[in-house]
Structure 1
Amino acid sequence: MNQSILFPDLQDWEQSSQMVVFPAQQQGMNIECRIGIAKLAALSGTILNATDQDIAIKALAVFETYRFDIEEEVEQLIEQELLDELGRIIVT
């Protein structure tokens, strides 16, 4: 694992975009990272329904379970400089 990219233990659910938002830090710079429920569902092999009132709890639980895999993918995207127009990493 590349030690120049760090992942603080911070994540939050953003209801409006249906994504878990979490930071990465590279050489002191914060990079906003996002992963949507479709990708979380694919990783976990479960159905995550956006209309479920407990979606935030479920999505964050899946994120935590697959955190290492997600961080590894994000690391590769950062190293390839595949940031969007707002400087974020979006895992799709």
Structure 2
Amino acid sequence: MNQAIQFDNELVISEGHVGFNAQQQGQVLVCRVSFKTLEQLNKQLNHLDQAVITSNAEAVFESLRFDIEELAEQLIINEQINDEGEVEITV
């Protein structure tokens, strides 16, 4: 069965993480990726070794958006949602 998961373009940059929303079957799920995970993915996938801070977090996230959404999608499909009802992306 194809479970369509949609992601919106809204980002929330907070202390140490980036938040974004996914929607599955009408349910909105908050997804979070930490700055540390963004740094690891940036190094792994973009071959860039740079610190992620509030001022550059959006740009780094956008350069990795599709990869991050794929990771989030797998977590949602596998029902790996934390106690707060959020999807926490890690590597």
Q: Percent identity?
A: 40
Tell me the matched-pair count: 84
Which residue number in structure 2 is paired with residue 79 of structure 1? 77
What is the distance in 2 between the residues matched to 1:57 and 1:4? 32
More strand by percentage: 2
Q: TM-score, normalised by structure 2?
A: 0.85
Q: Give the 5 Å matches for 1:1-92.
A: 4-15=4-15, 18-45=16-43, 46-48=49-51, 55-92=53-90
Where has structure 1 moved over 2 Å in runs of 4 or more? Answer: none
User: 1:65-87 deviations in whole A, cap 9, x for unaligned?
Assistant: 10000000000000000000111
Q: TM-score, normalised by structure 1?
A: 0.85
Where does structure 2 lack aligned partners over 5 or more consecutive residues? 44-48
User: 1:4-62 deviations in whole A, cap 9, x for unaligned?
Assistant: 100001111112xx00000000011100000001110011112325xxxxx22311111
Which residue number in structure 1 is paired with residue 46 of structure 2? none
Where does structure 1 lack aligned partners over 5 or more consecutive residues? 50-54
